Amino acid sequence: MQVRKTLLRWGPWNYRFWRELTRWCYEQGLKNPPVVNTSAHFPASGELQNAYTDIRRETLEVALSGRLPANHEIMEQQRTLYEFDRKVWGMLPLRGYGYDYPANQALIPTLRSFLARHRDVVSAAVSLFPPGKVLRPHRGPFKGVWRYHLPLYVQILADGRTSCELLIDGTTYHLHEGEGLLWDDTFLHSAVNRSDQPRVVLLFDVFRHDQPFWLVGLGWLFLWGAQLWQHVQCMRQRALLKSDPGEETAGAA
């Protein structure tokens, strides 16, 4: 019985099988530290910094509305991250491995313009951690991208640390608003919001241009498969903002 369960969990028909296989292939051909220089590997981040005020204003209007869908409801594979502490991780996908979410992008015009100019930013999302949220240690599935964190709404705690706390490969980072960090999320990492306020961060995945040619091909194959999977799963519909409770009340009246 246990063998059968293991096969069902790790067979080639399961996401986990391909995640681990892809990660193994990349680890053979790419060696890098957990955190890398942002300007060297993601020069377009300068545009985000220049437009930061507009991006922050537009994004927070959406993120703090209480209408973000739950990450585990958009993607069932994320459910274990929710079940760890039963606190809902809000997520608004704008682009997922090259697959655009036009309705969501339209809510944040400055970011929509940025993404239209930079197709190598293969993923972008608004992330909201509720107070006390803990993201258990885990590893990302795809080493063909850099992960970029850009905090928009962060609390400074009494000890000087911030609510945007990341533990990456044994090193802790406390990011401030507007302070971007570029890193490789296939390293073991975790996150926590120790404040009594939500924490809002923009997450970007940037296609790596330092890969050997054979990994570039594998990377585009991975992206194509991820786009097809999102289409089949009707992810655009599941990723829409929740209905406004006020509108529902008015409609019922």
The domain 29-240 is classified under which CATH number: 2.60.120.330, 3.10.450.50, 2.60.120.650, 2.170.8.10?
A: 2.60.120.330
Nearest to 138 by CA among 81, 183, 71: 81
Residue ranges of E strands in the chain: 35-36, 90-96, 99-100, 121-129, 134-138, 145-153, 164-168, 171-175, 181-183, 189-192, 199-207
pLDDT tier for residue 124 given thresholds of 50, 70 and 90? very high
| Helix, strand, coil content of the chain in percent (nearest 5) | 40, 25, 35
- Residue 239, classed as helix, strand or coil, is coil
pLDDT tier for residue 85 given thresholds of 50, 70 and 90? confident
Q: Rounded to 5 degrees, what are φ and ψ at 12?
A: -65, -10
Q: Look at 9-18, 150-159, 234-243 and tell me which has the smallest mean pLDDT.
A: 9-18
DSSP state of 78: G
What is the reported pTM?
Answer: 0.87
Q: Rounded to 5 degrees, what are φ and ψ at 205?
A: -115, 125
Percent of the chain with pLDDT over 90: 63
pLDDT tier for residue 249 given thresholds of 50, 70 and 90? very low
Q: Is the pLDDT of residue 189 over 70?
A: yes
**Chain segment 131-170, per-residue pLDDT in tens:** 999 999 988 888 989 999 999 999 999 999 999 999 999 9
**Chain segment 34-72, per-residue pLDDT in tens:** 999 999 999 999 999 999 999 999 999 999 999 999 988
